[in-house]
Structure 1
Amino acid sequence: MRNLNRKWGLDPSREFYWEPDISGGYRVYKVKSVVVEHQSPYQKIDIVELETWGKSLFLDGTLQSTEADEFIYHELLVHPIMRVHPSPRRVLICGVGEGKSVREVLRYPTVKKVIAVDIDKQVVILSQKYLGRTPIDDIRVKLVYQDVAEFIKDYKGEPFDVVIVDVTDDLDGPARSVHQLSFYKRLYEILSDKATVVVQGTSAFSMFKNPGFLYIYRLLKEVFPFVISYADYIPSFSDLWIFFVGLKGIKDLTPRQHIPPDLKYYDEYTNERIFTLAKPLREKLGV
């Protein structure tokens, strides 16, 4: 391999893609083809076809999803909280990305309105073109291209039953306005009397080197009366990924919705398993 002449991204040979690892090293992926490279006003967007993983999305050099296993991440993100709510009708998605969360949310027949907000329109457009279309043009979906912190600050519409916060986990990147106490305080104000919120909480496996997940957890604890954590292994991330659930007006995680048909990963057993955290992680979170 040739030496990398920048911190992340395609090797000059265009045969490898370098991603900084939280441990201080790199993960290096074998590239079959480069699908698209694009610099948006907010971040570098790379879609490359990788050996093993297929077409994959990188934002500023960080892997976001792969063709091979994106369904694992998105089913884990969406279904636990959708099932906890007794009748999820209005859903806010913070971070549209490839549109896969929209796909999962619309599996529930109770859903009448989805507002999906993303700061970077180019990510959504390129993902739909190269990573497979998702139902973001469904009549129930309204797309908004705006900083979601600004969106909720000015929001005066009907409250939301479910909120999915799936923004990038770089605390200093395009999503930095979301990783603030003020964001979650305002978010709480626009929730229904009974509401569920999920936040992707970054790497849990590398927890002793990654302050991000603990920072997010502490923010949520200051706002929500009930915050529960769950985690599972994401193969393409080579990592245990943590998610946080915030509950308003709901006091437990009892499933109140049936599992939608045709899911590839999530089922009743998975739902029970993911809420059982390993001892070091429980100790780190203080639960």
Structure 2
Amino acid sequence: MDKRLPALLLISVFVVATCGLIYELIAGTLASYLLGDSVTQFSTIIGVYLFSMGIGSWLSKYFDKNILSWFIQIEILVGIIGGTSSTLLFLLFEHIASFRILLYGLVSLTGILVGLEIPLLMRILQDRFEFKDLVSKVFTFDYIGALLASLIFPLVLIPYLGLVKTSYLFGILNVAVALFVCVNFKREIPAAGYLRSASIISIFGLLVGFVYSETITSFSESMSYNDTIIYSKSTSYQRIILTKRGKVLRLFLNGNLQFSSDDEYRYHEALVHPGLTALPEAKNVLVMGGGDGLAVREILKYPQIQSITLVDLDAGMTSLFQKNNMLVELNKGSLLSPKVKVVNADAFTWVRNQQKKFDFIVIDFPDPSNYSVGKLYTNSFYSEIKGLLAENGIMVVQSTSPYVAPRSFWTVNKTLESVGFHTVPYHNYVPSFGEWGYIMAMQRQHYKKPVQFPAGLKFVSKESLDQMFYFPGDMTKVETEVNKLNNQVLVKYFEDEWGAVL
């Protein structure tokens, strides 16, 4: 036997481990895209996957004969199922009532097959290494492969390949391992020719899927949206979808509607003008989130504003709204203004390194549907950002719906109050979203409702502002807890309240 084969088999361990973790990450990411961007999705997917791997490892003891042959067949199956799983889930999402059964079924099947791989490989290698060397080498390559997968998945694979193409690529790698073993151990494998042909055919099929993955993704996404998709891209942080029907543009992040161009002005006018109009001397403004530039568009209607700092995590988002002609027209080129500085950074860490004071701060983050966003609604974050607000300044926070999610809305209010802010809650109606809420916060209670607004506003006026500050009985204040980093009660409130109506 070729003396290089044991070393090459250890490389196979590395490839198998990398592929296995990639499938797990794909399943978790896909679940968050389709079922809601929540830590719950990743937690349950990881739990089911690891449990299934344990079942696979336990089942490996029943494979007594023709271990090489079994290993090759399992690698082919893992490659086919893992490689095509994202395509199947995307295509069937809109057509299967019990989608979670299909999702967890595929995750379980993949996990069982992946759980079989390493035990079988160790038995193949047991006559070629001493036991202590075998264990150390196999698990060293296994863990290195896992590390590589965890690094390249968010940094390289999702931004540049996307979920579907990544699935096919690693399916090809799995089957390539099967083909390698089949070719190099053909004398020890019954029906080696058959298995070699099966490997080659599987690689070819997965390669076709890889080449046409963009077509597959576009087709599957077109079934999930009522309007025509004109732009789609996966960044390191989210899936961005832009649709169009007639003149109406709609932006979706991870499947969640962010705005509709026919009524977004109601949201953004209400977000900016009740606070900023009350600050005639405001010069420096901070916008956190709002990478679409629509809040910045409203702020630029005030000629006294000298500088606007926009902090948004996703460079893919801000770049899109700086370069796409339709979107630049929608935000009036706000992100290209010389007054605007765009910073792509995590707001939670960014605020800790700032000393500049801002007269007006807009917090326009996505809804707190997961812990990574929920941390931006905690008392810890508000304590940090309080230091950036000028003594006579005003901050406004988008705070979800006080009608659909009253506990969520009033939790934001209570959390702001817990760090010493004086708050002024208000709301308005946006047809695409329903009743929506905002909270103004300030160092001291100095807010006076403005009586005059910039020319050209479509919605905000003295009369509409009076309605915004009135909370009827079905939106009155409710008792909640403070949202803290160590409890994140807001995320639970949000999931419970919105989950009941979606």
* SS at structure 1 position matched to 2:463: helix
Structure 1 unpaired stretches of 5+: 18-29
Structure 2 counterpart of 1:176: 374
Maintained 8 Å contact 2:422/2:444: no
2:244 pairs, out of 36, 44, 49, with 49
Distance 2:218 2:403 in 1: 26
Matching residue's letter, 2:387: E
Asked if 1 retains the 8 angstrom alpha-carbon contact of 2:392 and 2:444, the reply is: yes
Could you tell me which of 37, 54, 63 is aligned with 2:232?
37
CA shift for structure 1 position 10:
8.3
SS of equivalent residue, structure 2 residue 432: helix
Aligned sequence identity (%):
25
Structure 2 unaligned segments of length 5 or more: list them.
1-92, 101-216, 481-502
Contact 1:171 1:179 in 2 (8 A): no
For 1:23, the equivalent position in structure 2 comes to none
CA distance in 2, matches of 1:204, 1:131: 32
Counterpart amino acid of residue 126 in structure 1: L
Report the equivalent of 2:95: 3
Counting only pairs closer than 5 Å after superposition, residues 156-175 of structure 1 correspond to structure 2 as 156-157=355-356, 159-172=357-370, 174-175=372-373
Q: In structure 2, how many angstroms separate the alpha carbons of the residues matched to 1:13 and 1:168?
A: 22
Aligned counterparts of 1:174 and 1:42: Cα–Cα separation in 2:
11
> Residue in 1 aligned with 2:298?
104
Which residue identity does 1:12 align to in structure 2? S
Q: For the residues of structure 1 that align with 2:96 and 2:468, how far apart are their CA atoms?
A: 37
- 1:2-33 per-residue CA deviation (whole Å, 9 max, x = no partner) reads 515868x988372442xxxxxxxxxxxx22x1
Q: Distance in 1 between matches of 2:263 and 2:426?
A: 19
Of structures 1 and 2, the larger Rg is shown by 2
**Alpha-carbon separation, structure 2, partners of 1:180 and 1:10:** 37
8 A Cα contact 1:195 1:250, kept in partner: no
* 1:68-147 to 2 correspondences below 5 Å: 68-128=262-322, 129=324, 131-133=326-328, 134-147=333-346
Distance 1:90 1:249 in 2: 19
Give 2:260's match in structure 1, choosing from 60, 66, 69. 66
Equivalent-residue separation in structure 1 for 2:344 and 2:476 (angstroms): 37
2:429–2:435 Cα contact (<8 Å) kept: yes
Instruction: Supply the distance in 2 between the matched residues of 1:173 and 1:37 (Cα, whole angstroms).
Output: 25
Separation in 2, partners of 1:222, 1:241: 23
Contact 1:10–1:16, Cα closer than 8 Å, also in 2: no
SS of the counterpart of 2:308?
strand
Q: Cα RMSD between the aligned structures? A: 2.5
CA contact (8 A) 1:4 1:11 kept: no
1:245/1:265 Cα in 2 relative to 1: closer, same or farther (>3 Å)? same
Relative distance call for 1:283 and 1:10 in structure 2 (3 A) is: farther
2:275 partner amino acid: I
Deviates more, 1:54-63 or 1:277-286: 277-286
Give the length in aligned residue pairs: 266
2:447 match: 252
In structure 2, what is the Cα distance between the partners aligned to 1:13 and 1:121? Answer: 23
Deviation per CA, 1:78-103: give whole Å up to 9, x if none. Answer: 00000122411111000132101111
Amino acid paired to 1:45: I
1:20 maps to what in 2?
Answer: none
Of residues 4, 14, 22, the one that matches 2:222 is: 14
Other-structure match for 2:422: 226
Q: How does 1:238-277 map to 2 (within 5 A)?
A: 239-255=434-450, 258-277=452-471
Whole-angstrom CA distance in 2 between matches of 1:278 and 1:45 = 36
**CA positional deviation for 1:165:** 0.2
Report the secondary structure of 1:47's partner residue: strand
Question: What residue identity is the alignment partner of 1:139?
Answer: P
Higher RCO (CA < 8 A, seq sep 6+): 1
Partner residue of 2:392?
Answer: 194
Greater helix fraction, Structure 1 or Structure 2: 2
CA contact (8 A) 1:96 1:118 kept: yes
The letter of the residue matching 2:312 is D
Shift of 1:131: 4.4
Check the 8 A contact 2:274/2:449 in 1, yes or no.
no
Deviation at 1:216, TM superposition (A): 1.4
TM-superposed CA distance for 1:178, in Å, is 1.1
Cα offsets for 1:167-193 (capped at 9, x unmatched): 001341653331221110111111111
Change in Cα spacing, 1:230 to 1:68, as seen in structure 2 (3 Å) is same
Q: 1:152 aligns with which of 351, 369, 381?
A: 351
Superposed CA deviations along residues 256-276 of structure 1, whole A, max 9, x for unmatched, are: 8x4111111111111111111
**8 Å Cα contact 1:221/1:227 also seen in 2:** yes
SS at 1:163 equivalent: strand
Contact 2:425 2:469 in 1 (8 A): yes
Q: d(CA) in 2 for partners of 1:205 and 1:113?
A: 35
In structure 1, the residue corresponding to 2:399 is in which secondary structure? strand
Q: Could you list the per-position Cα deviations for residues 50-72 of structure 1 after superposition, in whole angstroms to 9, with x for gaps in the alignment?
A: 47x82100111110001111111
Match for 2:431: what amino acid?
P
Q: Deviations over 1:227-254 (max 9, x none)?
A: 11111111011x1101001022342333
Name the aligned partner's letter for residue 166 of structure 1: D
**Does the 8 Å CA contact 1:4/1:12 hold for their aligned counterparts?**
no
Q: What secondary structure sits across from 2:286 in the alignment?
A: strand
